[in-house]
Structure 1
Amino acid sequence: CVPGAMRRAIERRVLTLVLGAACHERSPEPPAARSASSVAPAEPEPRDLLAPPTRAHAAEPSAPRCPVTTDALPASPLLDPADPRLRAPTLVVAHKSGRRLMLFAHGQLRGCWAMGLGFAPEGHKHHEGDGRTPEGWYRTSDKPWSDFPGAIAIHYPNHEDATDAWSRGLLSSEDLGAVLGALALEQVPPQQTPMGGEVLIHGGGSREDWTLGCMALDDDDLAELRATLPPGQRTSLLVLP
C-alpha cells in the first residue's frame, strides 16, 4: 500500500502531466501554417475600367486595353468601318481574345469590363454543345426567365449562322424559315435547333472561361451594363474573335 500523502502527490503529478499534454494538442497553429481560407481577404483596390483585367489568362503585359473609339477596334473581316451601327447611340462590342465587353455611345467608349467565355473559347459557334461563343453581329433583348438574374439574351443564330447551317445540312428548311422570320421581327430566333441556343450575357464571374458559350460578367458589371442600355436591353452586339 502507498501512504496517503505519497498517493496524493503521485495523483497530482499525473494530473499535471495529462492536462499539459491536452493543452499542447489544442494549441493553435502559427499563422503561416493556416490554410488560405482562414485568412481574411484583403480589401480590393479601386478598379480602373480601362486597365487590363486581373484574371490570370488575360493579365500578361500584351493584354489589350479597351479602345476609346470604335475606329480603334481591332481589325476583323466582321468589321466594316463604314457600318453605321458603329456610331449608334448604344453598341456593345465583345472582344473574345481580349476577354473584354465594351459599351460605346456614338462611337465613344462608355464602359469596359472583363468577361469569361465558353469552355472552348476559340472559334465561331457552329452547333449545340461545342462550348464556343458565337462571332458576328447580333441583336440583344432582356431575358426575364433565366438561371442567372439580369441576363441579356443574344439573338443567336443570326442570318449568316442560319444560312451556313442550312447549307451544311445542320438546319432544316423549316427551321431556317422560322429563324429568318424571327430575326426580321427582331425577336429571339428558335433556340431548340441543332445549332444550339440560349446564348446570354449573364453574371456569375469573369475570371474563368466556364460557360457553355455565354459571356459571363461579374455581377456588379452586369448591373452597370444593364443600367446603360435602352429599354428591354435592346441594342446591337458585335462579337469579334
Structure 2
Amino acid sequence: MRFLFIALLTLAALTGCSRFIDYDGPEVTRVVVHKNDRIMLLMHNDEVLESYEVELGFAPEGHKLEEGDGRTPEGEYIIDRRNPNSQWYLSIGISYPNAEDVAQARARGVSPGGDIFIHGTPRPLRRGDDWTVGCIAVSNAEMRQIYAMVNNGTPITIYP
C-alpha cells in the first residue's frame, strides 16, 4: 500500500507540475503592454486573446535609458528568445535594446542595458508592487500560458 501511495504521489508531481503546456488556438500576432495600466494583452490581429496584470521595473515611469535605471522599455520590439531554465520560472526575451536605444545611450556615454524579459515571479503578484530591474512579470501559471502561446518573432509594443 505504501509503495502504491508513493508511486501515485510521484506520478501526480511529474504530470501536474509541468512548466510546458500545449497551445493550439489562434496565433498571437502581437503582444501589447500598457505600463500605466499594468496590463499586457496577447492579440490575434484586432482580437484580444488574453489579458494579464503585470508588474514592471522598480522605476516604472518613462522609457529605459540605461543599464540599472530600473525602467521597463517603451516602444516597438520583437520577442527574440526563450529561456526554459530562467531563474524566474520561464521567460521570453524582448529585443531591447534596438538601434535607437543603443544610439541614445552611446550619445550619453552609458550602456543601454539589456536582458529584458517577460517572466514569472517568485511570489504572488501584487498590483502596483513593481520590483523587476526592467522586465515584465506575470504569475507562473500565466507565464506557462504565455510561453506556449507567444512565438519568437512576435512583435511587442510597450506603451507608457
1:196 paired with 2:81, answer no
TM-score, with structure 2 as normaliser: 0.74
In the alignment, which of 139, 156, 161 is matched to residue 101 of structure 2? 161
Q: How far does the alpha carbon of each residue in 1:167-217 deviate from its partner, in whole angstroms, 9 at most, with x for none?
A: 3333xxxxxxxxxxxxxxxxxxxxxxx221211100114322011111000
Greater RCO (CA < 8 Å, at least 6 residues apart): 2
**TM-score, reference length from structure 1:** 0.50
* 3-state DSSP of counterpart to 2:158: strand
Structure 1 contact 136–238 (Cα < 8 Å) conserved: yes
What residue number does 1:213 align with?
A: 134
Question: 2 CA distance for matches of 1:222 and 1:234?
Answer: 18
- For the pair 1:132 / 2:103, whether they are aligned, the reply is no
Deviations along 1:142-185, whole A, 9 cap, x unmatched?
A: 12442122111111101221122223333xxxxxxxxxxxxxxx
* Partner Cα separation in structure 2 for residue 102 and residue 229 of structure 1: 11
> SS of the residue aligned with 2:86?
coil
Aligned residues: 129
The 4+ residue runs of structure 1 with deviation greater than 6 A are: none
Q: Which has the higher strand share?
A: 2
DSSP 3-state at the match of 1:210: coil
Distance in 1 (CA, whole Å) between partners of 2:101 and 2:153 is 20
User: Which runs of 5 or more residues in structure 2 are unaligned?
Assistant: 1-26
Equivalent position SS for 1:234: coil
Aligned-residue RMSD, C-alpha: 1.6
Answer with 1 or 2: which has the greater Rg: 1
Aligned to 1:236: 155
